Amino acid sequence: MSEPLRVALAGLGTVGGGVIKLLEANRALIERRAGRGIEVVAVSARDRTKDRGVDLSRFAWVDDTTALATQEGVDVVVELVGGSDGPALTLARATLGNRRGFVTANKAMLAHHGLELASAAEAAGVPLKFEAAVAGGVPVIKGLREGAAANEIARVYGILNGTCNFILSTMESEGRDFAEVLAEAQALGFAESDPTFDIDGIDAAHKLSILASVAFGTRPAFADVAALGIRQVIAADIAEAAALGYKVRLVGVAEAGPYGLFQRVHPHLVPIDHPLAHVTGSLNAVVAEGNFVGRLFFQGPGAGEGPTASAVVADLIDIARGEYGPAYAMPVAALIDGARADSGERRGRAYLRFTVEDKVGVLAEIAAAMRDAGVSIESLIQRGAVSGGGVLVAIVTHEGPERSVAQALEKLRGSPSLVGAPLWMHILE
């Protein structure tokens, strides 16, 4: 049996503790699968005294996280610190610069600095792996970069944030409003105390930009992801969607084509017979369409101790076997620039929800804005008072260019008839 792979672990939160437990619990099996052992030899975290439910006494404790990059006897550094910059990025640069492998679950850092880190890994001839950064325990990076590597993939989309999916599916099953469900999720520890990145779609946008690169062979372009979260979704939207045969889901969609690279995270209406409609709670799911394999569907837990540790250790097993290739499934020089596609050119159906004053002429004003922008209305529902005041008007449009819908909404902007901003949800066809 070869020498074990020696691992340094930066960050001992839920996932770090999970990695230690998994390596311990499945030690013999992992050794058989990898052909060698995988040993944690050094750890670093903020608080040395905290009880993490795992025995840390056999590992070297390193106070300065960056020092793991040069710690003697380490082959690979696992980064579970988080944050797009700061200590995580310093550690990544130092580790790769020191010609050591690097495994990370840090989607924010990859979204902002992935190309630089992939170039550094390539220059050093060492692995950069990040299965845990997208959809937690779901092996979607591996699925795309290896299993579907023979295919041209034109479209990849999915539910990439478990917090939002938990909130939306709880709103759906219990008929409650966003703020109430968010507060409960926070109290139960399902949502972060600062949930901004999750509920504003930023976390999903980070993940989508990574997926798009791996799927299409384009340079990561996080700045080009249009992101809108779920704050504006109210219980009445979910009820209207249900009446129309849809579920509301926060969906990240990426497409590559002659028109450029399109990346968007928005709340969508998903037809009830689509697999994404049945993804509930904190699960994640990704659909990829390959030109030979057809539609692939990956689903599973997107976060949590066990699932995320499972993805991290899968990367370590690949490294232990010597089975790793370029971070984005092709050398950095082969990645192409995907110019940002103009969403106005896209065609689709839209769900538009207005909360309006209950007064004469409001419907006529909305209909006139639609008419003037060339938006054709397929159906329109008006309901009585909604929580927060006003009455609800929900419109589903016929298929048409998104530019026209944007123009109609622009015409209505600032109208005194509207109570708050309208909500535009795309219909996933």
Q: Give 71 or 106: the residue with its C-beta nearer to ligand HSE.
A: 106
For residues 149 and 293, is the Cβ–Cβ distance under 8 A? no
Q: Give 91 or 205: the residue with its C-beta nearer to ligand HSE.
A: 205
Q: How many CB atoms lie within 10 A of CB 425?
A: 26
Alpha-carbon distance values, 341 to 69, 168, 236, 256, 379 (Å): 39, 29, 32, 9, 29
Which of these is catalytic: 129, 142, 207, 247? 207
For residues 6 and 41, is the Cβ–Cβ distance under 8 A? yes
Piece of 61-69, 149-157, 159-167, 174-182 that binds ligand HSE (CB under 6 A): 159-167
What minimum distance in Å lies between the beta carbon of 24 and ligand HSE? Answer: 23
What the block records as the tokens of 349 is 């159906």
Nearest-angstrom CA–CA distance, 3 and 336: 39
Piece of 158-166, 177-185, 214-222, 383-391 that binds ligand HSE (CB under 6 A): 158-166
CA angle at 227 for the pair 414 and 248, rounded to the nearest 5°: 85
What minimum distance in Å lies between the beta carbon of 116 and ligand HSE? Answer: 21
Concatenated DSSP letters of 357-373? -SSTTHHHHHHHHHHHH
What minimum distance in Å lies between the beta carbon of 131 and ligand HSE? Answer: 12
Q: Binding residue for ligand HSE (CB under 6 A) from 65, 161, 170, 218?
A: 161
218 counts as binding ligand HSE under rule CB under 6 A: no
Q: Binding residue for ligand HSE (CB under 6 A) from 104, 163, 355, 397?
A: 163
142 as an active site residue: the answer is no
Per-residue binding string, ligand HSE, 172-201, x by CB under 6 A, is: --------------------------x---
3-state secondary structure of 251: strand
Q: Give 285 or 362: the residue with its C-beta nearer to ligand HSE.
A: 285
Amino acid at 229: G
Q: Give 41 or 251: the residue with its C-beta nearer to ligand HSE.
A: 251
For residues 211 and 284, is the Cβ–Cβ distance under 8 A? no
Piece of 160-168, 210-218, 359-367, 415-423 that binds ligand HSE (CB under 6 A): 160-168
What minimum distance in Å lies between the beta carbon of 198 and ligand HSE? Answer: 5
Among residue numbers 279 through 318, which ones bind ligand HSE (CB under 6 A)? 302-303
What minimum distance in Å lies between the beta carbon of 133 and ligand HSE? Answer: 8
Q: Give 234 or 303: the residue with its C-beta nearer to ligand HSE.
A: 303
Element (H, E) at 424: strand 423-427
Query: How many chain residues touch ligand HSE (CB under 6 A)?
Result: 7
Q: Give 95 or 161: the residue with its C-beta nearer to ligand HSE.
A: 161
What minimum distance in Å lies between the beta carbon of 190 and ligand HSE? Answer: 8
Beta strands 347-348 and 294-301, pairing class: unpaired
Q: Give 163 or 218: the residue with its C-beta nearer to ligand HSE.
A: 163
Nearest-angstrom CA–CA distance, 350 and 399: 8
What minimum distance in Å lies between the beta carbon of 101 and ligand HSE? Answer: 22
Nearest-angstrom CA–CA distance, 139 and 131: 7
Piece of 45-53, 155-163, 367-375, 407-415 that binds ligand HSE (CB under 6 A): 155-163
Nearest-angstrom CA–CA distance, 107 and 147: 22
Rounded to a whole number, what is the distance in angstroms from the first to the last CA of the chain? 53
Nearest-angstrom CA–CA distance, 43 and 13: 12
Alpha-carbon distance values, 55 to 13, 24, 43 (Å): 14, 11, 12
CA-closest candidate to residue 333, choices 154, 115, 112: 115
What minimum distance in Å lies between the beta carbon of 9 and ligand HSE? Answer: 18
203 counts as binding ligand HSE under rule CB under 6 A: yes
Among residue numbers 69 through 128, which ones bind ligand HSE (CB under 6 A)? none
List active site positions: 207
Which residues form the interface with ligand HSE (CB under 6 A)?
161-163, 198, 203, 302-303
